[in-house]
């Protein structure tokens, strides 16, 4: 059943990408309406959690590839990885705007602002045109995600060290092991 769903998502991935555009539109509406409806700012934590979960989804295909895992689910994640990354940035931006702490001098907010700035550059270069123009430098730029990974962990751990923080810590450890794994074998 899962293989059937994965094959369906792979076969029609171009059509499913339009769903991401609908999601982007709704995120835009939420950001704009937050300036007029203060109740929406209560959703800040939800967008932070969505941002973290979509970020984890963007990290999984690379780890699976380095571990040599080749299952249809990882192929699906690889096909939609760019859009999950864009969604992650938009969720993080929404989280930052809704929290109203953009210009705070708190260490955890400064760290997250630095991460968001790095993610902005990854966001604006997450397209085929940038990939062609920057060629090898595009891959180097996209590797800044690993710097952001640690900055995001610091932000999350300082805010609320709970189940989501532990999940993210496990992903970071797996990420490090996935880089060491090919060298050890």
pTM of the model: 0.84
Token pair, residue 131, equals 């990939």
For residue 164, the number of C-alpha atoms closer than 13 Å in the C-beta half-sphere is 20
Give the whole-angstrom CA distance, residue 117 versus residue 102: 12
Give me the pLDDT at residue 92, please: 93
Give me the pLDDT at residue 36, please: 65
Give me the pLDDT at residue 27, please: 80
Where are the alpha helices (H) located in 72-135, listed in sequence order? 72-99, 107-124, 128-134
Give the whole-angstrom CA distance, residue 132 versus residue 157: 37
- Most confident of the following: 2-11, 28-37, 81-90, 103-112: 81-90
Domain boundaries, the chain: 2-184
Q: Give the list of residues 6+ apart from residue 16 with CB closer than 8 angstroms, or none.
A: 9, 80
What are the pLDDT digits (tens) for 20-78? 777 888 887 777 776 666 666 678 888 899 999 999 999 999 999 999 998 989 988 99
Give me the pLDDT at residue 38, please: 67
- Compute CA distances 43 → 60, 97, 98, 102, whole Å: 26, 11, 7, 16
Token pair, residue 42, equals 């209560």
Token pair, residue 5, equals 């769903």
Give the whole-angstrom CA distance, residue 46 versus residue 27: 12
């Amino acid at each position: 059943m899962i293989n059937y769903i994965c094959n369906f998502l792979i076969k029609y991935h171009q059509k499913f990408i339009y769903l991401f555009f609908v999601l982007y539109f709704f995120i835009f509406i939420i950001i704009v309406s937050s300036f007029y409806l203060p109740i929406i700012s209560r959703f800040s934590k939800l967008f932070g959690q969505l941002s973290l979960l979509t970020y984890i989804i963007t990290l999984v295909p690379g780890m699976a590839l380095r571990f040599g895992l080749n299952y249809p689910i990882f192929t699906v994640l690889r096909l939609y990885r760019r859009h999950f990354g864009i969604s992650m940035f938009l969720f993080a931006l929404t989280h930052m705007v809704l929290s109203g702490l953009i210009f705070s001098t708190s260490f955890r907010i400064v760290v997250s602002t630095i991460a968001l700035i790095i993610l902005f550059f990854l966001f604006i270069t997450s397209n085929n045109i940038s990939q062609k123009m920057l060629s090898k430098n595009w891959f180097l730029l996209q590797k800044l995600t690993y710097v952001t990974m640690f900055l995001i962990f610091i932000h999350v751990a300082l805010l609320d060290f709970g189940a989501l923080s532990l999940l993210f810590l496990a992903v970071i450890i797996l990420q490090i092991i996935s880089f060491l794994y090919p060298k050890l074998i």
